[in-house]
Structure 1
Amino acid sequence: MTLAVAAVAVLVLVASAIVLSGTSSADRYVSELDQVVDEPERSGVVIRCGTNEERHLNADNPVVSPGIPFGAHHTHEYVGNKSADALSTDDSLAAASTTCEKDDRSTYYWPVLRLTDGTGPDAHADGGGLHGNTGEVLEPTSVEIRYEGSPVSAVLPMPRFLRLITGDPSAFTSGYGPNTRARWGCADKPGRYTAKYPLCGNATTLRSYDFGSCWDGNNTDSASHRTHVAFPLAGGACPPRTFPIPRLHVTVGYHIPKGRPFAIDSFAEELRDPATDHAMFINVMPEAVMNELAGHLNGSR
């Protein structure tokens, strides 16, 4: 098979996948936000970490693919720890500098968002064009790192070096299973969200990430990077044999030029589906600061 024929075959396979999924690229953009989240107001603690002004980007994943450069196969955007990459260890993270206040050396990261009608500088690089992720990377206009308490009980401080993931980077190929937690919104429509790309007009486009907040009490990680921390049950109580810890909520805002197409980075087989949005976290907050944070949340109940 010639290279030209092979390339055509690949394009046909990709096109077939889109048709079979029933979601063309146009179907992935919506003007109406179809999910309403009615969450009670709870006091929280915000840690200011900037918006990645220094442009800390890489195609690594120190939570899911430690030790494997370019293991993410898509590019991540980071705030917090300035050293986070595939070769990070607990010791290297603890020794690094940070963009966050209060000496919070934690690392917070998620896939970049790109304008897809242009060409980015990584068009021929790992994590970029070599893995099917093309376009100009958009810089966030806002990043909020918020920790909230439990609505039903006091919380324990997070253990140092706790690793968390939220969302499913394989949501498209896995049939949008229970780990899918993509939440897209518009700043002018609070409380309303969608799992598709929202068309927000002149309003800020938002990506929101909620992390599990019920810890098993023993482990800072697990084989799946999920089973050591669960999500609360309906009503906010933790499942049996788990303990409430501060609930991490990250909101990232972007100004997207009106009328221009955009998409997140993803694994090539996920076709940049908006439902594959996800985020990761490693807690490297000083123990005294985490204890103070938990105490503040408990005192505000």
Structure 2
Amino acid sequence: MGRNTRKRRTPLATKVVAGAAALAVGGGGLVWANFYASAHEENPAHNRTRSAAAQVATIDCPDVGQQLSDVPDRARGEVDGELATMDSQITDAYKRLATTRRAQAGDSQFVQNAILGPLKDRRKAIIDRIQLEINRAGGQADDNLDELAQCQGQPPEQPQNGDGQNNGDGQDGDGQNGDGQGDGQNGDGQGQDDGQNQDDNGNGVAGPVADDFIDINDVEPNSRNSQNGLAANGDGGSTGTFTTDCGVNENDLFNSDNLIAAPGVDNGAHHVHDYVGNQDNDAFSSDEDLANADTSCQNQGDKSTYYWPVLRLQDGTEEFDANDLGGGADGNVGKILKPAQAELKFVGNQRSDVVAMPKFLRIITGDAKSFTNGDANANSSWSCTGFEDRQVTDKYPLCPEGSQVVRTSNFQSCWDGQNIDSANHRDHMAFVQADGSCGNGFQAIPQLQVRLVYDIPTPTIENGSVQNPYAVDSFPEQLHKPITDHNDFINVMDEDLMNEVVDCINSGEDCQ
């Protein structure tokens, strides 16, 4: 399987030493250390229970980027770069967490002294630079940002509270029960435990675990409890649709950049994206690059970029990125699964006509860090064909024979009428209110709805262990949780096509 081979610059601040991320090379790429490995006492089962109390499942850091609402335009590039460096710091700290389990078992203060303390100091230095860059550009930096420097270790079987937020959606540790995550190797790469690890999936990665899955028959119909992601259209207002066919990434365009959130930063996402539509998508693509690029969309007037984290089947397959940053070196291993279908549809608003999107409008829906941030911006929606009245946010569905896995994203469709982006990449957009209208003076634009359908062998769960699971690529510390699913869009339709989209929707027609 191919990848984007465009030559890319790698800022020194964002380089990561991949070798420290792993203890061995195995069938699924770089194999991560056992999260709850024994410390080699005579009774391994007893030792796992004893040592788990001193260990943590992951690292929970306040999301500084989400707190930035007033960053002058001329400082945004520098600030985005600093935020990407903070993400790399978390990744490095998490890798150290995953490769020092024996030391942690022997010293209850190891995580704080050797990992979290130094991480706080490094984050504090970057926060200071962010404040300086904002003030230098004529803004007014929040003096309280320093309070976000401290990260916490998140223990197994503990609620994921994020930055003081209630995570909701059943996020209660998700099966991180402390009895053997990994490939049977201990924290310093020596020896093995008793081989009864429940959550290693056969390849040692950090999730998913059995509790991350649910039989779709056990999901109540119409029970998804989230205002985020509601379909904007209804019986009134603007009832038309416009469908664009851009394929399923037949051109094998993959990379681990994020042009919206981390422009100019190589491997800014720390996980791999599928791309359809615009064919010049990497961290260094300018608006001019996007406008001049080829497109995979049948309608050549649509050069928009549509991208989402890949799904992988953790079956031991060594993909092209098994040893690369964003892939195996960041804990994302296994066979990349392309969608069997990728349906991209724009719909209207329940209460009003829609207005044209501005060119190069950027929208992120969902939150790649929802497992630690909490569910305020989460917008994951998982289901199965034939059961799409049953949507679940924090579990991967187990679909019956003949049914396929479905990922659905309904984007924010209320625009502030001025900005194509914002400092935290969210404030310029909003979801419709409960009555279907846009509040706060925002204007209704066509709502993008993305429906991805996958042919995936249904994982089996036996004795609390999941075999051959599938999972969304994620930041390493997010443990491949389904709630971290997200979707990204940059509008690069030409003016004629955008006007056609608006006219179709406002006149109640179904166009493509």
Name the TM tier (shorter chain).
over 0.9
- Secondary structure of the 1:19 match is coil
Tell me the equivalent position of 1:13: 56
DSSP-derived class of the 1:114 partner: strand
Name the counterpart of 2:392: 194
Counterpart contact for 2:365–2:379, Cα < 8 Å: yes
Find the aligned partners of 2:453 and 2:444 in 1 and give their Cα distance: 28
Could you tell me which residue of structure 1 aligns to residue 449 of structure 2?
249
- The higher-RCO structure (CA 8 Å, 6+ apart) is 1
2:252 & 2:303 partners in 1: Cα distance? Answer: 17
Superposition deviation, residue 9 in structure 1:
7.0
Alignment partner, residue 29 of structure 1? 213
Who wins on radius of gyration, i.e. which is larger? 2
Stretches of structure 2 that go unaligned for 5 or more consecutive residues are 1-21, 24-31, 38-54, 59-153, 159-171, 176-208, 225-229, 460-467
- Decide which of 143, 161, 166 is 2:360's aligned counterpart: 161
Q: Against the structure 1 CA distance between its residues 138 and 8, is the aligned structure 2 distance closer, same or farther, given a 3 Å change threshold?
A: closer
Secondary structure of the equivalent of 1:219? Answer: coil
- Name the residue aligned to 2:433: 233
Contact 2:255 2:282 in 1 (8 A): yes
Hey, what does 1:91 align to over in structure 2?
A: 288
The offset of 1:241, in angstroms, is 1.3
Query: 2:397 is matched by which residue type in structure 1?
Result: P
Q: CA deviation at 1:211?
A: 0.8
User: Per-residue deviation at 1:286?
Assistant: 0.6
**How far did 1:129 drift?**
1.1
Which residue of structure 2 lines up, in the alignment, with residue 129 of structure 1? Answer: 328
Report the secondary structure of 1:208's partner residue: strand
TM-score (norm 2): 0.55
CA distance in 2, matches of 1:8, 1:207: 30
Letter in 1 for 2:374: G
Q: Equivalences for 1:1-301 in 2 at 5 Å?
A: 7=33, 13-14=56-57, 17-20=155-158, 21-24=172-175, 25-31=209-215, 32-34=218-220, 36=222, 40=234, 42-103=239-300, 104-121=302-319, 122-176=321-375, 178-195=376-393, 196-201=395-400, 202-259=402-459, 260-300=468-508
User: Would you say how many aligned residue pairs link Structure 1 and Structure 2?
Assistant: 297
Q: For residues 35 and 134 of structure 1, do their structure 2 counterparts lie closer, same or farther at Cα, with a shift above 3 Å needed? A: farther
The DSSP-based 3-state class of the residue aligned with 1:292 is helix
* Cα offset, 1:120, TM superposition: 2.9
Q: Distance in 2 between matches of 1:227 and 1:207?
A: 25
Give deviations 1:117-140, integer Å, cap 9, x for gaps: 323322211111111111111111
1:244 partner amino acid: A
Compute the displacement of 1:158 (Å). 0.5
Tell me if the contact between 2:365 and 2:486 (Cα under 8 Å) persists in the aligned partners.
yes
Once the two structures are TM-superposed, the CA of residue 190 in structure 1 deviates from its matched residue by 2.5
The CA distance in 1 between the partners of 2:258 and 2:287, in whole Å, is 14
Q: For 1:136 and 1:92, how far apart are their aligned partners in 2?
A: 30
2:482 partner letter = P
Letter in 1 for 2:212: R
Shift of 1:19: 2.9
1:170 Cα offset (Å): 0.6
User: Does the CA-based 8 Å contact 2:219-2:391 persist in structure 1?
Assistant: yes
The SS at the match of 1:249 is strand
Please identify which structure carries the higher helix content.
Answer: 2
Cα separation, 2, equivalents of 1:224 and 1:109: 19
> Which whole-Å CA distance do the structure 1 matches of 2:385 and 2:501 have between them?
27
Secondary structure in structure 2 of the residue aligned to 1:248: strand
Question: Do the aligned partners of 1:112 and 1:264 also contact (CA within 8 Å) in 2?
Answer: yes
1:34 is displaced (CA, Å) by: 3.7
User: In the TM superposition, what whole-angstrom CA distance separates every residue of 1:90-126 from its partner, at most 9, and x where no partner exists?
Assistant: 0000000000122210000010000113233222111
Structure number with higher strand proportion: 1
Q: Which moved more, 1:37-46 or 1:223-232?
A: 37-46
Matched residue of 1:207: which SS?
Answer: strand
Distance between the aligned counterparts of 1:18 and 1:162, measured in 2? 40
CA spacing shift, 1:96–1:222, aligned 2, 3 Å? same
Q: Are the structure 2 counterparts of residues 222 and 27 from structure 1 closer, same or farther at C-alpha, using a change threshold of 3 Å? A: same
Between the aligned partners of 1:113 and 1:222, the Cα distance in structure 2 is 28
1-side partners of 2:240 and 2:35: how far apart? 54
Counterpart residue type for residue 389 of structure 2 = G
Task: Report if the CA contact (8 A) 1:58-1:75 is conserved.
Answer: yes
Tell me if the contact between 2:240 and 2:506 (Cα under 8 Å) persists in the aligned partners: no
**CA 1:226–1:33 in 2, change beyond 3 Å: closer, same or farther?**
same
Unmatched segments (≥5 aa) in structure 1: none
Q: Deviations over 1:22-42 (max 9, x none)?
A: 312111100133461696474
Deviations 1:276-300 (A, max 9, x none): 0001100001111001110110011
Q: Alpha carbon RMSD of aligned pairs, Å? A: 2.1
* AA in 1 matched with 2:502: A
